[in-house]
Amino acid sequence: MEITINQKASYKEQLQDIIVDISWSKISSKYFGKSVSWIHNKLSEIDGNGGKGGFTEEEAQQFKGALYDLSERIRKTADNFKA
């Protein structure tokens, strides 16, 4: 009998490919109106007091939308870039 443990990858694991290339301060400010420490706590899955935390379902959807918006802005910029 095989036992499978279903563990969700951490936020930072899910963002591994882009985490050092993004200004989290700008994402936090532009899309949430919050400080950089707020988003770092969310990404580290801690609350402001050091306990367990993370994104609410609504914040997770907003964060996903922010990433889609940023990717679209990058794509449009690349499409319009001329040497």
pTM metric for this prediction: 0.82
Give the model's pLDDT for residue 81. Answer: 92
> For residue range 6-63, what is the model confidence (pLDDT) as tens digits?
567 899 999 999 999 999 999 999 999 999 999 999 999 998 787 898 999 999 999 9
Nearest-angstrom CA–CA distance, 20 and 6: 27
